Structure 1
Amino acid sequence: MRSIKLKILTAIILLVSISLVIVGGTSIFLNYNSTMDLLEQTMIETADLASKRVSKELKAYENIAVEVGSIARLANSDISISDKKNLIDQRAATHAFQRGNILDADGNSIFDGNNYSDRVYFKEGMNGNAYISEPVVSKVTGELTIIISAPLWEGGTPGTTVVGVVYFVPNETFLNDIMKSIKISENSEAYMIDKNGYTIAATEAEAIKNNENIEEQAKKDTSLKQLAELHVKMKSGERGFDTYKIEGVKKFIAYEPVENSNSWSIGVSAPVKDFTQANTQSIFVTLVILIASVIASVVIAVKIANKISNPIKLCTERIIQLADGDLETAVPKITERDETGILAEATGKIVKNLNDIIADLGNQLSGIANGDLTMKSTVSYPGDFAVLNYSLEKVLNDLNKIIQQINRVAEQVAMGATQMSSGAQALSQGTMEQASSIEELSATITEISDKVTENASTSTLANQLAVQTSREVEEGNLQMKEMTEAMAEISENSGEIGKIIKTIEDIAFQTNILALNAAVEAARAGQAGKGFAVVADEVRNLAQKSAEAAQNTTTLIESAVSAVEKGIVIADNTAKSLEAIVEKAEGVSEQIHKISDASVEQADALSQVTQGADQISFVIQTNSATAEESAATSEELNAQAQMLKNLVDQFRLR
């Protein structure tokens, strides 16, 4: 059997554990999603900022080139080449360009004589457009270089004739420097690709030197497929956030197109582990907190379970002791003002009530054992225990009645024994007197001995008839008692009939009053008759009561008639018994008549009585002894009756 403590512990620990797991899991999930959302937003913003920075730098360089192309002195053929070079170098130094150059209308440099007519930036410049070239290998330095070109306007007036092209070469590492400045994690990197997918700037310059093109490499190396697909999106000018896997390392990437460029795009990537490490630590901390919380909840649950189960356990043990008959052990004291306190209080009340009831029953039974039948309950018997008090009270009342009856019978027995003793003593005395006189009558008795024998037989028959007559008299007596009871029942039913008749009279009186009210209401209501309906309803109710009373009257009358018939039957039986008594009395009379005749004959044969004198003498002596024994027996019966009365007197009656 599982204890309530274990049930409470299991419920609390399960509830807390499930709650903590849900909260912890939700926290980890939300934390991870929040981190990913923040990372996505941060990387996209970083890529956007890098894109804007490059765009801004390029636009600034473009504006410088356009502004230099509008300088009239540079288009004036009267200005020396050295002056023009000084002006170009001055502007390049001012704006941190690596170098600058002026190309004539044929694409020849006026400074070094190299021909650049095949370059796109020259062609665009001659068409009157400012242009930022794709990274190209410089003919001067052999390095990968970006060219910022602009048309050289005749007279320095934009929109006129283009007489040449001016271009500047930014620092070869300025794009790489921008890429290196982008740092979102320890192992993050940034790079930029052109419209053909070639890496033109990167945190690591090796990719540029190796003329890296992921799309071309992916054709041979399938591990680069995911990144190649992202480069396709970057070349198409899309912006976004995604993940890819390269060389077994999963990375995040945010990409953004570069405005004011020739479809360039910047990508900012970082290994997933750079960010999940913090999440892993957060998960670890959360798990530690969850475990600590579970342990704390277990400790708290144990305390709560003990606080709840211990009082229940104590009360249960006390109830078990009570079931084993222990009424003396104290009830545990519970100070909590909750259900456990109520349970302890109820347990104490049960013990106290049972203790009081059993003590009261023991007191009353002890009193009864000591002959005190006047005992009364001194405590209150709550609820169904009241049946015990009622039953004990009934037993005491019945015992009181029985003892009272025994007392009366004992008195009557004692009185009868006294009378019997007196009669026996008188008989004994008379027998002794007869013994002294029998000698005188011996001669006469001898003569009438034969008649005495006959008289004795007749006397015996007369005695039998007398006994039978006595029985018939007793039966007549019983019949008379039954008739008395029947008459009493008739009397009771007659009383009920009187009550019912009284009820019928009351109902008749009320019916008359209601009838009068109905008449009054009818007179007041006129055609409405509503009041008459109410009164009529009441009249019907009273009429129903009258019918019920009449029915009860009929029933009681029938019962009375039955009782009368029963009395008649009993009376008939009594008459028969009395007739039997009369007949037996006649028989006694006849026998007595015979005895009389025999006595006449005995007088004639008196001389024969002498023969029975000795026998009569013997009988007289026997009667004398029997009378003495009867006297002794009567005295003993009297003593027993007195003893019985004394025993009964030991009881205290109500």
Structure 2
Amino acid sequence: MQEEHEVKAKRSISGRILFNTDLMMICLAVVFVVLMTRSMKSLTDSVLSDVLPSMTKTASQNLEGNLHMLSDRIFMIGENEAITDPGGSQEGKLSVLENAQSGIEFAWLGLYNAEGSLYLGDEKCPASLKERKLFPLLQETQNMVIDDIFENGDVLELAVGLPIFNTEGELNYYLVGSYNYDILSDVLSSINISANGEAFIVNADGRIMGHRNTDLVREQTDMAEYVGTDVIENKVVSGETGIMTYEYKKDTELISYVPINGTDWYLAIIVPRSDFMGPANDSILLGIYITLGILLVAGIYTVAYASRIKNSLKGVTNRIELLANGDLKTPTKISRTKDETQVLSASLSNTVNSINGYISELSKILSSISEGDFDVSVEGEFHGDFVIMKESLNSIIVSLSQMLMSVQDSSKQVLETAGIVSESAVQVHTGSSEQSSSLMVLTEETKAIEENISEVDNNTRMAGELMEKAKTSMDAGDANMKNLLKAMEDINNNSLEITKVNRILENIAAQTNMLALNASVEASRAGEFGKGFAVVASEVRELAAQSTDSAKHASEVINSSLKAIENGVIYAKQAAESFDDINEVTSKMTDITKRLEESVSVQKESLANMSDQIAQISNVAQRNLDSSYESTTASQKLHKQAEGLQNISGQFRLRRDK
């Protein structure tokens, strides 16, 4: 709260008034200066737009008058009979030229033939006019022509030419006279509209023919290059009369242009706006100084006036802070300022007194209520929203009295009911205890049965697994026995084949022996030639005898093996039959074990469901036991609280409706 007041104190009303006043004055000053500046610029442009064209026109007329004067002089010389007479002597013509040149102060004066070559004239006359712009214009127009400014040595000259015709209208020659550039310079120097204003004479090509700076004329500088834009040059050489503005080097310049009649020249006058804004700028600066002075005076007056308002409001603010802190007794200081602050302080004083009376009456009533006395009511005259507080508090007193009377009546009934509930709760608790004990015994028995069933189920499952393994082993043994029988049969068949082979070997041995015997007989018949063959036959016979013995021995062994194989086949068949019998018995035992396992599983599942149900019943019974205990305790507490409520409600002094 204190920090909030400190923030408010930093934003004092005097500072705000001073800030707002200064801000308003500054805004007005800025608007005033901007409007004055724009007005001055607009006024200057308006004045120059009115004055500059007429001044340009006047200067153009002066130039036209001077050029006409020059033209008239040429006409006057050209009308001389000595010049126009084609039969006149050259001395007479030259005399006329010399007299005119000395009297009118020509730079030079001469006659030129149709080809532009000098016909008569002094040494100052150029030998030919072919390089001058004047000559083709004379040939084209056959009339008076004013040439562009031409530099002859160090002198700038203005040449004027006139064709001279004979009485039959044929061209005799051209009369050309040159004047000094000062004729134009004097007219341009007389144009003094401003300190930085400039006057230009330009030809149709935009070349500068006249300017106070003669270097521009000597170099025949292009106007577009000089002013930095070709827009102005295009406007000037358009042949129109007018005025325009353009921005040049952060300044606005006005240019007035007009054609010079009788020539292909144009006069343009350029004037910077800043040359005419000096008095206006002084007025603007004076306005700024005056505004600053007014701001200073207004600030001093505003501070004094705001301080008076601040002091008046400070007393009101301090009293409001005391009121916010609960102070209703400190008197309010009334400001005698004869304005809104006096009305504000007086209204605050009345408000504090009224609130003090209201709070005193309400405090008295609330004090009685806090002591248990509800047989009271708010008296006195209340205004505004405090009337609602008065009526609301009286309504609260009536409502509380009625409620407390209902509480007294209800507490008696609750006390009686609590006694009955307490007795019933004790009986329920006793029954729940007995039920819980019985369920605990039943639960323990069920657990024991479930453990036995689980053990039987495990043993049955193990027996089933063992029978499965035995059945698998018997199936494997039966398969092996069948394979053994098949192998014995294959051996028996192979023995029979060996016997056949052995018989064949015996026959081969007998035949070999027979052949050996025949060979011996034939060898003996052969005499000496058959001795070697006899030896071979003898060896063959012995080999045949050995083969016969071996075959007989092999036959005996084979016969013994056949008898043993036949006995093995018989025994193997008997063993296979025994395995079939064992396998059948094992399958039956496996089926019996599976059925037993399924029966045990069903019993185990049923017993598990029974255990769950018993557990749920046990939980319900335990909750009932706990609830009965809590009900017993709560009923006892309710009985005690009902007694306490009866005692408390009896202490209030209530308003009884008459």
TM-score over 0.5 for the alignment? no
TM-score range (shorter-chain normalised) is: 0.3 to 0.5
> Larger Cα Rg: Structure 1 or Structure 2?
2
| TM-score for the superposition, normalised by structure 2 | 0.43
